[in-house]
Each structure stands twice: as C-alpha cells, then as structure tokens.
Amino acid sequence: MTTDARANDARAMRRLHVITWGCQMNVYDSARMQDVLAPLGYAPTDRAEDADMVILNTCHIRENASEKVFSELGRLRPLKQVRPGMIFAVAGCVAQAEGREIVARAPFVDIVMGPQTYHRLPEMVARAARAAGAVIETEFPAESKFDHLPESAAPAISAFLTIQEGCDKFCSFCVVPYTRGAEASRPMPAVLAEARQLVAGGAREIVLLGQNVNAWHGDLGNGRSGGLGRLIRELAAIPGLLRLRYTTSHPRDMDADLIAAHREVPGLVPFLHLPVQSGSDRVLAAMNRGHTADHYRRLAERLRAARPDLALSTDIIAGHPGETEADHQATLALIRDVGFAQAFSFKYSPRPGTPAAGAPAQIAEVEKDRRLADIQVLLRDQQADFNRGCAGKVIKVLFTGQGRHRGQVAGRSPWLQPVHMTGPASVIGTETAVRIIEGRPNSLAAEPLPQTEELACA
Ligand code: 5AD
Ligand code: SF4
C-alpha cells in the first residue's frame, strides 16, 4: 500500500457510538444501523469521545423518555464543540414522536429519524454534511426498510430477527401504534432467508421480534396464508438452529396453531412472555385489551397442557386511570393464580396523545407507588421460587460467552434464566446439559456433568 493510500484509508476510517434505550427491537435496530453504516467506513466504538458519529436510539414507552434524551444530548454537546464535524443523530420512537421539539431544543442535532427510516441513513449522513439545519426523516416511507438493509455482520450465538412491526391494538395507555405505525408482517421468504443467513454465521438461537409478534401472518406460498405457528415450524427445520423464542405477544393472538407449535416443536423454548397488564376485567376493558382475566387464565392452562414445563413471564401496569383497590387486588389474585417465572411491572405513566392520558380518574402517584410495590414483592417472590426450584435439576443451557469471572462460561436456560458455570470455553455456542447447583434470585449457578451423565441426558 502506498503512503497516499494509507492516508486515504485513515481518513475513511470513522467511529460510530450508539446509545440504545428500550426494547429488544431497538437493540436489533441499533445493530442494523451499524450494519448500514459499515460500508461508509464506520466502525463501532464504546466511547462517545472517540466517535465521529453518535446515534441515540430512543424509547418513548414510558415517562421521562424524552427528558433522558435531552439530558444525554446536553452531556454530549461539549464533544461537538471540540470536534465540530461530529454528527449527532436521534433515532427511534422519541425521534418519531417529538422530532420538531428535538430540533428546537437541541439545534446541534444533525439527524432526526423515525424507526422506519434507518435504511436511508447513508443518504441522511450525506445530506447532513451539506445541510445547514437538521435532516428530519419521520415519515413512514412506502418502501420497507427490510428490503434495503445489508446482511448483518457476524451474528451473535443468540440473534434477534424482527419479523413484524407496529401495532393496531391501540391499548389505552400505549404510544406504540402512533410511533411504530400500523401492524406489518415481513414476508415468510425474507424471514427464512435472514434466519438461514444468521445460522450460517453462527447463530444457534433466534429470537423473533415484533411489537405484536404473534400477530405475524404471511403468505405461505401456496395461495394460503398462515400465522406464527406455521412460521415457527418452518424456521425450526433449519439445520443448526437449536432454539427459537418470540417476543412480545398479545393474548388475543395466541391461536390454536401457535399453542400446538409449543407442543410439537422441541426447539421452541418452554418460555413465553405474554403481557396481561391487569387482572381486573374492568381495567382490561378500560385498557382496550379485548380479553378478560379468565381468558388469560385459560390461555395459561392451555399452553401448559401443550407444554407442561412452560413458564410464563408478563407485564403488569399499576394504577391505570380508574383502577380501584378492588381492581388492584384482582391483579394480585391473577398473579397468584397464574404464577410467573419472571415479569416486568410498571407504574402507569400518561403518554401524550394516548386515550388514557386524558382520562379523568388519574391515580395519585403515592397510590401507584404502593400498588407497584405490592405487585413487585409478589413477582419477586415468584421468580425467586421458580429459580430455587431449578436447583438439583439437569437442564440444557445454551452457552453464549465467557462469564464475568476467569474460567467461567455464561448462557441461558430454556426459561431464559442467566446461567454461570466454571467450565470449559469449548461449550460456548453449544446447548449442553449441566447440573444446577444453586437457584439465585436473578440467575442460576451450574456445574458440568460427569461425561456419562452428559451422554445419558443428550
Ligand atoms: N405506562 C406504563 N407502562 C406502560 N407500558 C406501555 N405503555 C405504558 C405506560 N403508558 C408497559 C406495558 C407494555 C410494556 C412494554 O410497557 O406493560 O407491555
Ligand atoms: Fe402497545 Fe402492545 Fe397494546 Fe400494541 S398490544 S398498543 S404494542 S401494549
């Protein structure tokens, strides 16, 4: 290489720092933004100080989301004073919902882009270099971003794959239908092609993502259309793929074929995140969830009948407008009846533009705090019990990397619990039977099996 060529190369080399908030779909989007920018010479860096471009991939689902973005921008701003050529981009749902306000309050931001537009990033970067003001892309474009994305760089052992975006359910409290748009499924051939490519690159688990992933529906190629159960069966047939998961689901879209897939597809993990939000029929109706508490209880029973070792996870909201003490008690009763291995719970947070935000019977903050605390004590106990119950069992763990300590490997159980084990690095990338020696509140400790037992279990 000549000196000139080397100098050009050094100039072409740029650094990209991405900060991600929110759900796994944002984690997936951030990875794909890195893929889109790689051909322009952008390599990832962990340090904003070293970056030529910083992307803030934001989440709008609960309160303070935009304030967090503005405070992060305030923290980053001095970097731009030192390096005026630096590009600041705000992506994701806050960008979608509050694009104009971002530019007004933080005029040093160069790019504001909604979640459907990041395939246009190279063009936006070029425009930002020329433009005096910010480049704003928050329309929902006619073309799908998925048709314009490059193949992903080396996938992880557990890889995300977005198969569906947006939502038509319009729950009273939720911004997703407004920020991510209408429900749209990716076609089956595109999903299968991306899955094959992930597995060829070393992925052993695929996590199917969507705001409403079990609303996925597609053309099966024979003139008939099918749902997620069908897609899962097709994906499970890919050689080398050991595990499949999907998130996040709506109880109304758990159809009989999807439940049957839990019985029939061994690689579909016995773990399901199925948000219920409340255990009160009054509140579920006010939330526009379209089902009752008993419908959810029956669904849990049907899933466990199909796959007896299935564990459930959920989302709960404390203090939706109009929620009474009796409603709150009904939520606690549902949690006790169903029993969750893991869960997320939140204080209701009014989101501008959603129906619940304008409802008259808002619940006082202290009351929401108390109800949330009740819920969290119960959920924490259920999770701890579930983890303790794993002690002594032999289970298959998908090992995904080194653990925190020397000589340790880390992975996930079929129920998504983090597992740590002192053991050989050769297990990384494999699903290996191990013995659980301790079930801790948030993780499991394991030990390798003697060779003979390993064979017996395989
Ligand atoms: N307030 C509190 N929690 C919310 N969620 C969504 N919107 C709100 C809100 N306005 C929760 C729901 C959802 C999860 C992703 O976030 O429980 O399932
Ligand atoms: Fe939001 Fe989920 Fe309801 Fe859709 S189904 S509106 S994403 S909470």
Can you give the CATH number for the domain in which 422 is found? 2.40.50.140
User: What confidence score (pLDDT) does residue 154 get?
Assistant: 61
Same structural domain, 191 and 100: no
User: Is 279 a residue whose pLDDT tops 70?
Assistant: yes
SS3 418: strand
Give alpha helix (H) positions in 307-457: 325-338, 365-388, 451-457
Out of 107, 137, 167, a domain closes at: 137
Report how far apart, in Å, the C-alpha atoms of 114 and of each of 23, 169, 245, 425 are: 15, 20, 27, 40
453: pLDDT confidence band, cut at 50, 70 and 90? low
Let me know how long the chain is.
458
**Ligand 2 atom with minimal separation from the 250 CA:** 5
Q: What is the pTM of this model?
A: 0.88
Quick count: other Cβ atoms within 10 Å of Cβ 257? Answer: 15
Residue 279's domain is classified under what CATH number? Answer: 3.80.30.20
**Ligand 1 atom with minimal separation from the 277 CA:** 17
Domain count, the chain: 3
Same structural domain, 119 and 186: no
226: pLDDT confidence band, cut at 50, 70 and 90? very high
- Using the mean position of ligand 2's atoms as its centre, give its distance from the Cα of residue 170 in Å: 6
User: What confidence score (pLDDT) does residue 67 get?
Assistant: 86
User: Is 3 a residue whose pLDDT tops 70?
Assistant: no
User: What confidence score (pLDDT) does residue 128 get?
Assistant: 86
Out of 137, 170, 193, a domain closes at: 137
**Ligand 2 atom with minimal separation from the 177 CA:** 6
Same structural domain, 272 and 228: yes
Same structural domain, 48 and 112: yes
10: pLDDT confidence band, cut at 50, 70 and 90? very low
- Separation CA 343–CA 379 (nearest Å): 7
Same structural domain, 125 and 170: no
Average pLDDT over residues 129-153: 75
| Nearest Cα residue to atom 1 of ligand 2 | 174
Average pLDDT over residues 253-281: 98
User: Is 456 a residue whose pLDDT tops 50?
Assistant: no
Ligand with minimal distance to 178 CA: 2
User: Is 446 a residue whose pLDDT tops 70?
Assistant: yes
Which of 168, 169, 172, 248 best tests ligand 2's pocket when mutated (most atoms within 8 Å of CB)?
A: 169
Q: Are 276 and 296 in contact (CB under 8 A)?
A: yes
User: What confidence score (pLDDT) does residue 458 get?
Assistant: 32
Helix H or strand E segment including 235: helix 228-236
Q: Are 289 and 280 in contact (CB under 8 A)?
A: no
Our answer on whether the CB atom of 287 is closer than 6 Å to any ligand 1 atom is no
User: What confidence score (pLDDT) does residue 391 get?
Assistant: 97
- What single-letter DSSP state applies at residue 250? -
Same structural domain, 104 and 205: no
- Separation CA 380–CA 115 (nearest Å): 33
First to last CA, the chain: 52
Ordered DSSP codes for 41-93: TEEE-S-GGG-SEEEEEE--SSTTHHHHHHHHHHHHHHHHHH-TT-EEEEEHH
User: Is 9 a residue whose pLDDT tops 60?
Assistant: no
Same structural domain, 117 and 66: yes
SS3 275: coil
Cis-peptide into 162, omega within 30 deg: no
Our answer on whether the CB atom of 399 is closer than 6 Å to any ligand 1 atom is no
Quick count: other Cβ atoms within 10 Å of Cβ 133? Answer: 10
| Tokens standing for residue 387 | 């983890």
Which structural domain range is residue 428 located in? 394-457
| Nearest Cα residue to atom 5 of ligand 2 | 169
pLDDT digits over 303-314, tens only? Answer: 999 999 999 999
Same structural domain, 402 and 447: yes
Residue type, 382: Q
CA 446 to chain centre: 26
Ordered DSSP codes for 183-206: -EEPPHHHHHHHHHHHHHTT--EE
| Nearest Cα residue to atom 9 of ligand 1 | 349
Quick count: other Cβ atoms within 10 Å of Cβ 394? Answer: 14
Average pLDDT over residues 18-33: 90
Average pLDDT over residues 203-214: 95
User: Is 455 a residue whose pLDDT tops 60?
Assistant: no
Same structural domain, 373 and 406: no
- Separation CA 67–CA 90 (nearest Å): 13
- Using the mean position of ligand 1's atoms as its centre, give its distance from the Cα of residue 217 in Å: 24
**Ligand 1 atom with minimal separation from the 174 CA:** 7
Bridge partners, 58 (sequence order): 92
Residue 131's domain is classified under what CATH number? Answer: 3.40.50.12160
Same structural domain, 302 and 202: yes
What percent of the chain shows pLDDT beyond 90? 73
pLDDT digits over 326-361, tens only? Answer: 999 999 999 999 999 999 999 999 998 999 999 999
User: Is 2 a residue whose pLDDT tops 50?
Assistant: no
User: What confidence score (pLDDT) does residue 220 get?
Assistant: 74
Out of 100, 121, 137, a domain closes at: 137
- Using the mean position of ligand 1's atoms as its centre, give its distance from the Cα of residue 347 in Å: 8
- Using the mean position of ligand 1's atoms as its centre, give its distance from the Cα of residue 174 in Å: 6
Phi then psi dihedrals of residue 417, to 5 deg = -70, 135
SS3 230: helix
Q: Enumerate residues lining ligand 2, CB below 6 A.
A: 167, 169-171, 174, 176-177, 211-212, 250
Ligand with minimal distance to 291 CA: 2
| Nearest Cα residue to atom 18 of ligand 1 | 315
Q: Are 43 and 10 in contact (CB under 8 A)?
A: no
Same structural domain, 325 and 341: yes
SS3 433: strand
Q: Which sign, positive or negative, has the C-alpha torsion 298, 299, 303, 309? A: negative
Instruction: Give 228: exposed, middle or buried? Use CB within 10 Å, 0-12, 13-18, 19+.
Output: buried
pLDDT digits over 102-134, tens only? Answer: 989 999 999 999 988 888 898 899 888 777 778
- Using the mean position of ligand 2's atoms as its centre, give its distance from the Cα of residue 212 in Å: 7
Ligand with minimal distance to 165 CA: 2
Q: Are 289 and 277 in contact (CB under 8 A)?
A: yes
Our answer on whether the CB atom of 173 is closer than 6 Å to any ligand 1 atom is yes
| Nearest Cα residue to atom 3 of ligand 2 | 171
Same structural domain, 182 and 79: no
User: What confidence score (pLDDT) does residue 362 get?
Assistant: 96
User: Is 265 a residue whose pLDDT tops 60?
Assistant: yes
- Using the mean position of ligand 2's atoms as its centre, give its distance from the Cα of residue 274 in Å: 12
